[in-house]
Structure 1
């Protein structure tokens, strides 16, 4: 049984010369589930039936491009010397913060064109973003990537993890078990999803679900990033993901307090 567990293959199947990886399947699954969740909630909140479908056609490719650009910029010492490698996204190298920036910018412009409140759409979509992140991190599990520093097998067993996760956290090139940071983030985001769904029922001020997402995700990412061994650095030991996380936490809190203090009339999540 152990040999089977150790043989988790990141490749799902091949179609001729095309290799289909579990990473891609899992990412797409997260996007699809998140899309249907946003679509259902959007209909309840009075958005056109095709709103999120049309939005996704723009947001998905732009997010991928921005995720790649962010990574390339953070690794410019390598890509500046090897510009031909910039487009080789199939060899890995994307960053969730780049995707998030691209998605938010796309949604903002799309909403301006459609004359729909950006914050209304952002509130509706925030839980779906977490759904995508919860599921998507398991793509990292299949690839044995985005993990943390060395730990003992006993440490992982004390987390009450099943053997199939523990075995996948053994990195042969390192000869050691590692922190399952993909799992930490996936669980953190799952808790965040529950909180955001509760906030929906609490009928918070418009925008506060989205800003709560920024705060919650960024707090978890800040601490989890400190465990990872594949971080992107701005300079020295300053990790870019932690800097961005702190920035987003500040933006989230300031936006909530400012809008509660200044914005009138008050519009809540369940208002049309």
Structure 2
């Protein structure tokens, strides 16, 4: 567990934020290559990525604030204040909020650019799974999104000071972050392999991505701890 990746004075780069940003960057790079092969200008995908990333960051922050509202009562400016407790940097994001607002932003982008949403979705959506694979390593380093207690050889004891360590001090728990990350990667590889086997209808890759992700969450949530 390594919550703060880099700290210079009061400036800190958090592992979760860095890995999520890296996941987005890799996903957009792969998407631009996929777009070029299908006759799209890579710039369209990069513009799309910037819009979706910004929307996802805002959505992730808002979802965290709503679900942890007690942390901000009486000091609401901490929601947007990048400097608090002697450290520069905003900590506290939620993946679900980022996904929801990101999809809304993607739909609006396609409307404005007059691009078929499902056509672009077929290009970009599968890389969401690749980005999630990288992002979940950020969850592991942060010690969030953790599992229930277990005694299997690969279970992990998180140190105190992390969400998992504070909840289960000295107790082995399922590393559900890694479960999801590895299954996300496997699903991405399966999906792009299936794409090559016969002609698919418009929207096939888009919808299959979320079918896969729904199944992944159903599996992982069986092992995950929820308060």
Regarding TM over 0.5, the answer is yes
CA distance in 2 between counterparts of 1:102 and 1:198 reads 29
Q: Which 5+ residue runs of structure 1 have no aligned equivalent?
A: 1-7, 232-272
Query: How far did residue 60 of structure 1 move?
Result: 0.9
Structure 1 residues 26 and 151, CA, compared in 2 at 3 Å: closer, same or farther? same
Q: Does 2:214 match 1:215?
A: no
What is the aligned length? 215
Query: How far did residue 172 of structure 1 move?
Result: 4.7
Bigger mean CA deviation after superposition, 11-20 or 86-95: 86-95
CA distance in 1 between counterparts of 2:99 and 2:8 reads 31
- Map 1:15-54; keep pairs closer than 5 Å: 15-54=8-47
Cα pair 1:148 1:228 within 8 Å, conserved? yes
- Aligned to 1:224, the other structure's residue is in SS state helix
Please give the per-residue CA displacement for 1:217-252, whole angstroms capped at 9, x wherever unaligned.
112213322433346xxxxxxxxxxxxxxxxxxxxx
Q: Does 2:147 match 1:186?
A: no
Bigger mean CA deviation after superposition, 190-199 or 176-185: 190-199
TM-score by length of 1: 0.70
Query: How far did residue 77 of structure 1 move?
Result: 5.8
- Map 1:43-122; keep pairs closer than 5 Å: 43-76=36-69, 79=72, 83-87=76-80, 90=89, 92-122=91-121
Cα pair 1:169 1:179 within 8 Å, conserved? no
Cα pair 2:157 2:170 within 8 Å, conserved? no
Q: Which has the higher contact order (CA 8 A, sep 6+)?
A: 2
Higher-Rg structure is 1
Cα pair 1:12 1:22 within 8 Å, conserved? yes
Structure 1 residues 148 and 61, CA, compared in 2 at 3 Å: closer, same or farther? same
Query: How far did residue 169 of structure 1 move?
Result: 8.1
Structure 1 residues 50 and 21, CA, compared in 2 at 3 Å: closer, same or farther? same
TM-score by length of 2: 0.83
CA distance in 2 between counterparts of 1:150 and 1:182 reads 14
Query: How far did residue 185 of structure 1 move?
Result: 0.6
Q: What's the RMSD between the two structures over aligned residues? A: 2.5
Q: Which 5+ residue runs of structure 2 have no aligned equivalent?
A: 83-88
Please give the per-residue CA displacement for 1:95-121, whole angstroms capped at 9, x wherever unaligned.
222111211111111112211111011
Partner residue of 1:251?
A: none
